[in-house]
Amino acid sequence: MTPEAAADPMAALASPPAGASIVELRLDLLSGIDVAAAVGACPLPVLATLRSAAEGGEGSDDPAARAEILGAARNAGAALIDLEFTRDVALVQGLGLPPEQVILSWHDPKETPEDLGVIAERMLGSPARWVKLVPTARGVADLAAVLGLHQRFNDGPRMRRRLLTFAMGAPGLASRYLAPLLGPPIGYAAWSEAAPAAPGQLTITCTEAVISHLDGAPQRLFGVVGADVGSSLSPALHAAAYRELGLPFLMVPINVSDPEELGELFAPRGSTCFDRVGLEPWGWAVTTPYKARAAAAADRHAPRVLRAAAANTLVLGPEFVTAENTDADGIVGSLVSLGIDPRGRVAVVQGTGGAARGAAVGLHLSGADVVLRSRSDERAQSTAEEIGLDWCAAGNAAPEDALLVNATPLGSEAGEPGPFSDAEIAAAAAVVDMVYADHETELIQMARRHDVTVADGREVLLHQGVAQVAAFTQRVPPKDAMRAVLKR
């Protein structure tokens, strides 16, 4: 519970989010709140936390002030008390707390120190029921370091494990999904999407959509790899397939800001950074801006990958990495599902990036006459010549009865116009928008107003995801179960 969770904290505490089993009361953020009344208002057990400014909160460092506030929470009946390892150890005895009532915590809001294992070992030497260790990941190496703590310290039955560890920040997002599977079955979740208590904190709904089919470590790990995949629907989409098929697999988002770190991921099974910490990746879904790098890193390539020079799917074998491009399946599959055969039709693909390359090659292989268009004529020409297709200048209008494909990010922001004019849309046979978001894009709205057949980004994602699940699992994907996840 944070101030952003509700205008009336007391009323909100009386009705916690569905699925919660404990409510963390952030006393450092709720200054002036009546602690006894707050604890009493909540029907669930309360974890009282006074996060210090040094560890990313707004609480005091003064020992007397901390003892007074946390003592009030103990007296009010808080089931658990968060004590900071750096400054609160004396309060275990000072407040007369039994070990089973204590979560001993340590946070670094800036980085992941090299001596993380030493810190964990020292903390686990205390009698506290749980030990919480949360650094900030700056990259894939930091993420792996945090996950390695589970391999080192969290053995034995899950209910007896003591180390709660994950990483804050975008690169650490995967660790939030994995923590309750590799460590104690406990996860920290945001009260709502609008009220995370820490950077990268997920809601219960978001977490459950990805991991609820698992009861422990995944047998196989998959990931969606990109520069900004925090809002990707792929983990939930693939989880729906694994759940329906009864497979103990998991897909997590892996944010990579430094392309030099891709070498730790785009490697044969057994030699990635995740393998070194006890997890076994079997494949990656690759998105912006790394599709060209994914194709280049592979040892074996599907023919359409060679032509597009872009891959959105890497299957990791014990000796080889195989590249595939299911963006092609996404575009063609979404059109065919709407009763539109691309054969013999002109398809204008806007964009020259990895998604555009995959879409264009897929449409061409399906018999369409593909024309590439871009804001940059130079890029359109060079890309078209590279993959053996036609192109047109940015100012050239699409012909009537064409298939229009947006393979750019335009429309990602609500109200942002797409790349096609109103006249082009009105005369089109169909419009396909590869952008998916919480809102319906302006391009799709315009097409609907003209009663033009449309396939939005979620429909494209479904069909490419179905092909991707088949490549990863060698099983027939449950399309209906996957489609249900994508409904707004």
Alpha carbon separation from 458 to 131, 234, 325, 354, 440 (Å, rounded): 40, 10, 17, 18, 10
Q: How far apart are CA 16 and CA 375, in angstroms?
A: 49
293-300 — which CB contacts under 8 Å span 24+ positions? Answer: 293/259, 293/262, 293/266, 294/225, 294/262, 294/266, 294/323, 295/323, 297/262, 297/263, 297/266, 297/267, 297/321, 297/323, 298/266, 298/322, 298/323, 299/268
448-455 — which CB contacts under 8 Å span 24+ positions? Answer: 450/422, 450/425, 450/426, 452/425, 452/426, 452/428, 453/338, 453/340, 453/429, 454/430, 455/334, 455/335, 455/337, 455/338, 455/430, 455/431
Quote the Cα angle for 19-24-30, to 5°: 130
Of 372, 325, 328, nearest in space to 352 by CA: 372
Alpha carbon separation from 371 to 104, 352, 390, 421 (Å, rounded): 61, 11, 5, 16
Q: How far apart are CA 21 and CA 445, in angstroms?
A: 41
Q: How far apart are CA 206 and CA 373, in angstroms?
A: 37
| Residue 289 preceded by cis peptide, ω within 30 | yes
Q: How far apart are CA 250 and CA 241, in angstroms?
A: 10
| Residue 304 near residue 361, CB atoms below 8 Å | yes
Task: Find the helix packing angle between 327-337 and 354-365, rounded to 10°.
Answer: 50
Q: Is residue 291 annotated as a catalytic residue, yes or no?
A: yes
Out of 132, 291, 479, 487, which one is annotated catalytic?
Answer: 291
Query: Whose structure tokens read 């000072």?
Result: 94
Task: Find the helix packing angle between 377-387 and 354-365, rounded to 10°.
Answer: 50
Quote the Cα angle for 276-141-120, to 5°: 80
> Which residues are known to be catalytic?
291
